[in-house]
């Protein structure tokens, strides 16, 4: 725990907080100031907007411990503020709220906008207010209410300018005390909830139980200078193939069923996906289909994927056509914008193809894999590995970006 001293709605407050407690929870749970609402809790919706040292900020992505020495104003602290009083009237007369959930954040943002700017067109008001979401009004009433008060701006007493910080408030000048008051938190810090992979094969799993709906797919091919028989035999040894995939590990194989895990490092994120899949090999056509799903317990994210590959003898070597399909849900998907995911999976596929080529030729995987199938997780400059892994591969896929 840390002790912090701050001012909330004009009152000095001294409190003990866990570093991981964000300001909105601190205000609501410890100070019982429940006017600050929590919506998305990751900085998108604006419901938790409060003033910190006179600048509106999101209390769900500001930690209470960062506010040691700060001056906070929540919706409860604006009762006597003349501009806020006028806005309340306008919100009422223009029907700028229905359920009211967004209103504390909305009206604090509206006050801040009028403090900073005047004479905006309705379209500009909408643009400025776009950081606060409302599910009821369609924003028409809100825009009208703000326009109404903005039109009177010159006659209204605007909030006095706060001594503005150039960095995030309260900044270096603030008096602060944040000290460890007990080492309990520190001792526990960094021990994430137990997420060791408990991967094992589900009894009775069947191919059909792995959903292949709604996957984004990509294709890639590689030509290796060996005959198709040799390549096909090589691909039958999953442990060796897994070694072509940095960060991947085959945990268990029982006939067609496989279980494994995969670690990736991407910037500050280090998801570890564990899961299971099934492989079905068609010796006659020298093609295989792998399906699977996996979970990263740390971020509660799930991934599904499919890999289909087929071999073709070209006379001078073997052409391997690879098709990868993937889908990601959960927290990691929040950070997986389409282009990034697509690019990553494309790179994964290419990297895998390269490693495979090296491994078949007896040179070992090119990008950090090791022969025991337990290669290291990727690090910053490394190639993200490849993919034959039922589930996993595709997975993290979605998230991240590219590597050169």
Partner 1 sequence: MKPARFDYMAPSTLSEALGLLESVPGAKVIAGGQSLGPMLNLRLVQPQLIVDISRIPEMSAVEDDGDCTVYGACVTHAAIEDGRAADGTGGVLARVASGIAYRAVRTRGTIGGSLAHADPAADWLSALTALGAEITAADGKQERRIPIEALMTGVFETAIGSAELLTGVRVPKLSANARFGYYKICRKTGEFAEAIGVALQDPERGRYRGVVGATEGSPIVLDDLPSLKAGTEADPGELRERLKGHGMDDPYEIQLHAVALERAIQEALA
What the block records as the tokens of 334 is 């929040």
Compute and round to an integer the Cα radius of gyration of the chain. 28
**Across 111-212, where does the E strand assignment appear?**
179-180
Q: Which of residues 10-49 bind partner 1 (CB under 8 A)?
A: 18-20, 22, 25, 41-43, 46, 49
Does residue 158 interact with partner 1 by CB under 8 A? no
Does residue 261 interact with partner 1 by CB under 8 A? no
Q: What is the DSSP string of 317-349?
A: SEEEEEEEEEEEEEGGGGG--HHHHHHHHHHHH
Does residue 280 interact with partner 1 by CB under 8 A? no
Pick the closest to residue 295 from 287, 310, 305, 308 (CA basis): 305
Site stretch for partner 1 (CB under 8 A), options 86-94, 136-144, 166-174, 224-232: 166-174
Contact track, partner 1, 128-147, x by CB under 8 A: x-xxx---------------
In the bound state with partner 1, the residue whose beta carbon lies nearer, of 230 and 402, is 402
Q: 27, 65, 259, 351: which one contacts partner 1 (CB under 8 A)?
A: 65
In the bound state with partner 1, the residue whose beta carbon lies nearer, of 266 and 290, is 266
In the bound state with partner 1, the residue whose beta carbon lies nearer, of 121 and 372, is 121
H-type helices in 118-158, by residue range? 122-128, 140-151
Does residue 324 interact with partner 1 by CB under 8 A? no
Does residue 340 interact with partner 1 by CB under 8 A? yes
What residues does 280 pair with on adjacent strands? 289
In the bound state with partner 1, the residue whose beta carbon lies nearer, of 133 and 215, is 133
Q: How far apart are CA 4 and CA 178, in angstroms?
A: 5
Q: How far apart are CA 50 and CA 215, in angstroms?
A: 41
Q: How far is CA 245 from CA 185, 254, 266, 363, in A?
A: 37, 20, 16, 15
Size of the site for partner 1 (CB under 8 A): 76
Does residue 271 interact with partner 1 by CB under 8 A? yes
Q: Which of residues 219-248 bind partner 1 (CB under 8 A)?
A: none
**DSSP state for residue 1 in the 8-state scheme:** -
Q: How far apart are CA 7 and CA 183, in angstroms?
A: 25
Does residue 68 interact with partner 1 by CB under 8 A? yes
Site stretch for partner 1 (CB under 8 A), options 111-119, 145-153, 215-223, 285-293: 111-119
Backbone angles phi, psi at 5, to 5 degrees: -120, 125
Does residue 402 interact with partner 1 by CB under 8 A? yes
Does residue 269 interact with partner 1 by CB under 8 A? yes
Contact track, partner 1, 376-395, x by CB under 8 A: ----xx--------------
């Amino acid at each position: 725990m840390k002790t912090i001293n701050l001012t909330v709605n004009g009152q000095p407050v001294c409190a003990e907080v866990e570093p991981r407690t964000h300001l909105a929870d601190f205000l609501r749970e410890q100070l019982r100031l429940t006017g600050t609402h929590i919506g998305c809790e990751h900085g998108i919706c604006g419901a938790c907007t409060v003033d910190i040292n006179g600048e509106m900020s999101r209390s769900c992505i500001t930690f209470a411990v960062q506010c040691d020495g700060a001056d906070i104003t929540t919706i409860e602290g604006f009762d006597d503020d003349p501009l806020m009083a006028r806005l309340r009237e306008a919100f009422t007369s223009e029907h700028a709220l229905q359920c009211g959930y967004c209103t504390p954040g909305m009206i604090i943002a509206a006050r801040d906008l009028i403090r900073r700017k005047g004479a905006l067109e309705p379209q500009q008001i909408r643009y400025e207010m776009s950081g606060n979401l409302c599910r009821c009004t369609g924003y028409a009433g809100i825009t009208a209410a703000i326009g109404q008060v903005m039109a009177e701006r010159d006659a209204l007493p605007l909030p006095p300018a706060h001594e503005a910080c150039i960095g995030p408030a309260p900044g270096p000048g603030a008096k602060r005390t944040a000290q460890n008051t007990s080492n309990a938190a520190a001792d526990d810090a960094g021990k994430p909830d137990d997420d060791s992979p408990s991967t094992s094969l589900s009894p009775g799993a069947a191919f059909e139980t792995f959903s292949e709906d709604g996957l984004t797919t990509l294709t890639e091919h590689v030509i290796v200078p060996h005959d198709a028989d040799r390549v096909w035999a090589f691909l039958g040894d999953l442990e060796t193939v897994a070694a072509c995939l940095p960060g991947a590990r085959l945990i268990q194989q029982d006939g067609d069923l496989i279980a494994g895990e995969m670690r990736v490092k991407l910037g500050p994120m280090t998801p570890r996906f564990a899961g299971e899949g099934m492989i079905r090999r068609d010796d006659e056509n020298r093609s295989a289909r792998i399906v699977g799903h996996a979970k990263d317990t740390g971020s509660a994210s799930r991934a599904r994927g499919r890999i289909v590959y087929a071999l073709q003898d070209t006379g001078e070597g073997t052409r391997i056509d690879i098709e990868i399909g993937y889908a990601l849900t959960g927290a990691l998907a929040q950070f997986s914008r389409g282009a990034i995911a697509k690019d990553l999976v494309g790179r994964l596929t290419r990297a895998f193809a390269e490693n495979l080529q090296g491994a078949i030729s007896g040179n070992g995987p090119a990008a950090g894999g090791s022969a025991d199938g337990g290669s290291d997780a990727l690090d910053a400059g490394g190639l993200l590995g490849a993919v034959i892994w039922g589930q996993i591969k595709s997975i993290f896929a979605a998230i991240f970006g590219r590597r050169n």
